[in-house]
Amino acid sequence: MSNTLLKVDGLKKSFSIPDGMFGKKKMLKAVHDVSFHIPEGKTFSLVGESGCGKSTTGRLISRLLDPSEGEIWIDGEEISQRKEAQLKVMRKKVQMIFQDPYASLNPRMKVRDIIAEPLAIHTNLSRAERYQQVSEILEIVGLSEYHANRYAHEFSGGQRQRIGIARALILKPKLIIADEPVSALDVSIQAQILNLLKDLQSEFHLTYLFISHDLSVVEHISDHIGVMYLGTIVESGPKEVIFANPKHPYTKALLSSIPIPDPRLRRERIILQGDLPSPVNPPSGCRFHTRCPIAKDLCKTTEPAVHKDDGKGHMVACHFVEY
């Protein structure tokens, strides 16, 4: 049995936002109640439409944001309430990769210094030692020494993401949180970067939290998938189960929008009505009931319990689920 590298339990985050004029405030519940875990060396993907709280979840786990409630266990340590001074070890273990590598790479620094920066912050290595490590990591991510002396704007999108990955890897982290790492790239480049991430995972025994709005992107890289809707995980399970036997009407709708390459196969397209409701005033009962094709009166009043099929690790939060 492998160790659990990341465990999140009852995670919540509300933001205080302005409510009209006169300095009033209201609360936006970006993450309502999120729990999941990732075994060491595995990939868990969080999937859901824009605004459902995926990035907020990633930023809470990496403690770029302070949680309102809940526990975050990383490599056996609970870090949800730690102050900055006590987060140093954790900051080495957890690194992030972002959607827009250009925005996250300093335009005035040479690639060599961008990648070496975390070493300068977290280690006592000499400059020569740091640059030696940069050379090695450039090779590992499919770039070369020749690229080290250049600036980020001189690279293509795919190459920039390789630089972002090199920077994330240089401290030999255990957990990588990849927030839409391929969403800004062409489809052919997406596949290259996803393959690179998969190779790096087996080479360095990395654990991934992969965030995407697109289920088809996470299909090959994931071991486990959590489908998020308006701040909560409505269904989670092993990738094969989610793709072959989805139970939640929201997951079914997301899956139905993925084109199937074989024209002989047809999947009925489920089109959801309306937009994601506001996280300031989420619907009562089941948060999905306002857009759910099978909602009944019960769904308007009562939040569904999570049904677990423990044999397969499949969990569904719906009143009308049947295994």
Ligand X SMILES: Nc1ncnc2c1ncn2[C@@H]1O[C@H](COP(=O)(O)OP(=O)(O)OP(=O)(O)O)[C@@H](O)[C@H]1O
Least distance in Å: CB of 35 to ligand X? 17
Q: What is the Rg, in whole angstroms, of the alpha carbon atoms belonging to the chain?
A: 21
Nearest CA to 185 out of 257, 102, 110 is that of: 102
- Token pair of 259 as six digits: 């084109």
- DSSP 8-state code for residue 21: S
204-223: contacts with ligand X (CB under 6 A): 213
SS3 107: coil
Which does residue 120 touch among Mg ion, ligand X, none (CB within 5 to 8 A, set by kind)? none
Q: Using the rule CB under 6 A, which residue among 8, 30, 137, 177 binds ligand X?
A: 30
Contact assessment for residue 176 and residue 96, using Cβ atoms and an 8 Å cutoff: yes
Which does residue 28 touch among Mg ion, ligand X, none (CB within 5 to 8 A, set by kind)? ligand X
Beta bridge partners of 44: 209, 224
- Phi, psi (degrees; rounded to nearest 5) at 288: -95, -5
Residue (51 or 283) nearer to ligand X, CB: 51
Q: Please choose, out of 48-56, 64-72, 126-134, 245-253, the segment that lies near Mg ion by the rule CB under 5 A.
A: 48-56
Which does residue 50 touch among Mg ion, ligand X, none (CB within 5 to 8 A, set by kind)? ligand X
Q: Using the rule CB under 6 A, which residue among 12, 32, 53, 148 binds ligand X?
A: 53
Alpha-carbon distance 280 to 27, whole Å? 6
For 260-269, letters b (16+ CB in 10 Å) and e give eeeeeeeeee
Alpha-carbon distance 311 to 45, whole Å? 20
Which does residue 304 touch among ligand X, Mg ion, none (CB within 5 to 8 A, set by kind)? none
Residue (3 or 278) nearer to ligand X, CB: 278
Residue (8 or 143) nearer to Mg ion, CB: 8
Residue (52 or 148) nearer to Mg ion, CB: 52
Per CB under 6 A, does 54 bind ligand X?
yes
Per CB under 6 A, does 188 bind ligand X?
no
Per CB under 6 A, does 55 bind ligand X?
yes
Which amino acid type is present at position 122?
A: H
Least distance in Å: CB of 55 to Mg ion? 3
- Token pair of 219 as six digits: 């299909």
51-70: contacts with Mg ion (CB under 5 A): 55
Collect all residues with Cβ–Cβ distance below 8 Å to 278 and sequence separation of at least 6.
Answer: none
Residue (55 or 62) nearer to Mg ion, CB: 55
Contact assessment for residue 290 and residue 301, using Cβ atoms and an 8 Å cutoff: no
Total of residues contacting ligand X (CB under 6 A)? 13
Which positions touch ligand X (CB under 6 A)? 15, 17, 28, 30, 50-56, 213, 279
